[in-house]
Amino acid sequence: MSMFTYSNQEAKACPRCGAVISRNADFVSCIGCGFRSFDDERVQVDWKRNNWTAESQIEKILEEVGEVAAALIREDIIEATRETLDVKQTCDTMLAILAYNWETKYGTPYPLKKIQQEHIEKLEKKGYL
C-alpha cells in the first residue's frame, strides 16, 4: 500500500482504485470505490460502479425499512433481522457516498468521528445512554 503526505497527514492509497485515504480519516472504507475498510471488517458495496447517489440511497433505505416492517407484521424475526442488516448496509453505503461527496467538495477528510461523538452526546443528553 503506498504512503505519502496529504494535507500534512500521512496517507495511504486504496489498493483497488488508488484513491487517497488519509490515515487519520474518520471514515474507514475507501470513498473512491467502496473497498473494504483498512481499519475494520465492515464491507462496502461498489456503489460507484452502480452509479448510486445519496438521493437513490434514501429511496433504498426507505424500501428496506418497509421490508423490516412487513417482516415484523408477519412476526418473522429471522426475516426482520435479514432486512435490518440490509438497512444497516444501505446506511453504511450512504455514509460512503456522503464521505466521497464531502471529500470531493471540501478536499478534507470526512469528519464522521466528530459527528458520531456529537450524536453520542445527544443520546446522553436525552437519557438514552
How far apart are alpha carbons 29 and 43 in whole angstroms? Answer: 8
pTM for the model: 0.67
pLDDT digits (tens, 9 = 90+) for 55-102: 999 999 999 999 999 999 999 999 999 999 999 989 988 988 898 898
| Residue 105: domain span | 3-125
Please give the tally of structural domains in the chain. 1
* Cα separation of the two ends of the chain: 39
Share of the chain above pLDDT 70, in %: 66
As a whole number, the mean pLDDT across the chain is 78
